Amino acid sequence: MLTNQPLADRMRPVTLDQFIGQEHLVGKGAIIRQVIESGQLPSFILWGPPGVGKTTLARIIANVLNRPFYILSAVNSGVKDVRETIEKAKKQQFFNKPNAILFIDEIHRFSKSQQDSLLSAVEQGIVTLIGATTENPSFEVISPLLSRCQVYVLKPLDKEELMKLLDNAIRNDKYINKIKINIKENDALLRFSGGDGRKLLNILELVVASNDLADKKKLVLTNELVTSRLQENIAFYDKNGELHYDIISAFIKSVRGSDPNAAVYWLARMVEGGEDPKFIARRLVILAAEDIGLANPNALLLANSCFDAIHKIGWPESRIILSEATIYLANSPKSNSAYKAINDAQSLINDTGDLPVPLHLRNAPTSLMKELGYGKDYKYAHEYDEHFIDENYLPDKLSGKKIYHPQDNVHEQKFLERLKKLWNKRYKY
């Protein structure tokens, strides 16, 4: 293929009707489509994994609304670049012409001072900010800026959307469509893409480019062919950090699997790859609660201390803090009882709806509420032996329901002994 322009860029949609995925945002009657149709564009942040259309959506909005469009990447732009771009936008302001759109890719990598430099321009309407991030903006975007932006969550592309994207490229790309491609198997294509549309098209382009069959006009895509081509061309495949999510997944699973050796290895891979230490530390905090939990409650305290410490200590010393936390969490006993309990409770609510709070548990700040029985017959636990009284604290329909299940570790077995003593019927195994 005689082109240096990647397939994903060649196939970038220019209208909402060409855009694949994110129906909850751009489908008929959805919020972003309504915003575009109204022409009243607020500043907002697009939060989602790579390859789901964040940059493309920003371009489409600017194109449809005929707005000046500026792009900055947080990776290689500083405060000076932000100010220069804002000055350009100022100069284009005249009469009733709509303000420019400033798109900032990876806004989570902007420092506080860089984000501060945006505030005034956003407040004054000099620019409409569209930020893109793969990280939770609640952690990475300063509160004054976040309060001035809507946050829209984008989802990984599902199988149907990925296949639609693939079919579109095979039929319509001026280079790819010269080859008769038969998708005999798609499991490997979908598995390696991981819901990332850009990655999917990169894989297709790689396989087509490395086609060494005698007949260059025909190609049968199988799981074996796709896997072998990726293994042979791993450097190409990872040229834009495509393994980012694969490596963090291996890291988490190694800690969960209590293998400190593998965990530190994957940590080192991320360190050597230039991964944001805050990204790693946040994953450790989540992991401490989800996978270690009540088997070792100190794990969450240490992981949170790690998160705080790397904000105070510079790089590369922070890697030592991350290593200590990683090894500690990998060596800790494991329990996902807290994770399962909240999931089960949420499922229970979805199944049963918003059940009424029993009268004896309700607050009674007014005389009318007291007359209606709010708070009546509530038993104050501290007035009873061992500060406990057998009382129903769930909605009446769920009385006696067991949601938390202690697991087989030292800490939770102690919990279980106490629960059996207090709630004999509920925790009688």
DSSP string across 102-130: EEEETGGGS-HHHHHHHHHHHHHTSEEEE
pLDDT tens-digit map of 297-310:
999 999 999 999 99
pLDDT of residue 237: 45
State the CATH architecture for 356-422: Orthogonal Bundle (1.10)
| All CATH 1.10.8.60 domain ranges in the chain, comma separated | 159-237
Q: Judge contact between 167 and 181, C-beta under 8 A.
A: no
Q: Judge contact between 117 and 143, C-beta under 8 A.
A: no
Q: What is the dihedral of CA 262, 263, 269, 275, to 10 degrees?
A: 170
Element containing residue 422 per DSSP (H, E): helix 410-422
| All CATH 1.20.272.10 domain ranges in the chain, comma separated | 244-331
| All CATH 1.10.3710 domain ranges in the chain, comma separated | 356-422
Neighbouring-strand partners of residue 151:
45
Query: What is d(CA 8, CA 162) in angstroms, rounded to the nearest whole number?
Result: 13
Closest CA to 175 of 313, 23, 8: 8
Closest CA to 133 of 102, 106, 101, 103: 106
State the CATH architecture for 21-153: 3-Layer(aba) Sandwich (3.40)
Q: Taking every pair of C-alpha atoms in the chain, what is the biggest distance, in angstroms?
A: 89
pLDDT tens-digit map of 243-263:
567 788 889 999 999 999 999
Helix axes 298-312, 318-331, angle to 10 degrees: 170
How many C-alpha atoms does 325 have within 13 Å on its Cβ side?
31
Q: Judge contact between 83 and 121, C-beta under 8 A.
A: no
Query: What is d(CA 214, CA 192) in angstroms, rounded to the nearest whole number?
Result: 27
Query: What is d(CA 172, CA 169) in angstroms, rounded to the nearest whole number?
Result: 5
**How many C-beta atoms surround the C-beta of residue 348 within 10 A?**
16
| All CATH 3.40.50.300 domain ranges in the chain, comma separated | 21-153
pLDDT of residue 20: 94
How many C-alpha atoms does 2 have within 13 Å on its Cβ side?
0
Closest CA to 146 of 179, 119, 184, 177: 119
Query: What is d(CA 370, CA 365) in angstroms, rounded to the nearest whole number?
Result: 8
- At residue 180, φ and ψ (nearest 5 deg) are -80, 105
What's the CATH code, domain 159-237? 1.10.8.60
User: Quick one: tokens of 259?
Assistant: 């293998």
Closest CA to 111 of 138, 91, 141, 136: 141
In the block, which residue shows the tokens 């600017």? Answer: 62
Q: What's the pTM?
A: 0.62
Q: Which fold has domain 244-331?
A: Zinc Finger, Delta Prime; domain 3 (1.20.272)
Query: What is d(CA 213, CA 390) in angstroms, rounded to the nearest whole number?
Result: 75
Contacts of 36 (CB under 8 A, 6+ apart): 16, 61, 64, 65
Query: What is d(CA 219, CA 101) in angstroms, rounded to the nearest whole number?
Result: 42
Helix axes 197-209, 159-172, angle to 10 degrees: 40
pLDDT of residue 388: 86
| pLDDT (tens place) for every residue of the chain, 429 residues total | 445 788 989 999 999 989 999 999 999 999 999 998 888 899 999 999 888 999 999 999 999 998 999 999 877 777 888 888 888 888 877 666 788 999 999 898 888 888 888 888 898 889 999 999 988 888 778 888 999 999 999 999 999 999 999 999 999 998 888 888 899 999 989 888 888 899 899 899 888 887 765 456 788 899 888 888 877 665 444 444 445 677 888 899 999 999 999 999 999 988 877 788 888 999 999 999 999 999 999 999 999 999 999 988 877 889 999 999 999 999 999 999 999 999 899 888 888 888 888 888 888 778 777 777 888 888 888 888 888 888 888 888 888 888 888 888 888 888 888 888 888 878 776
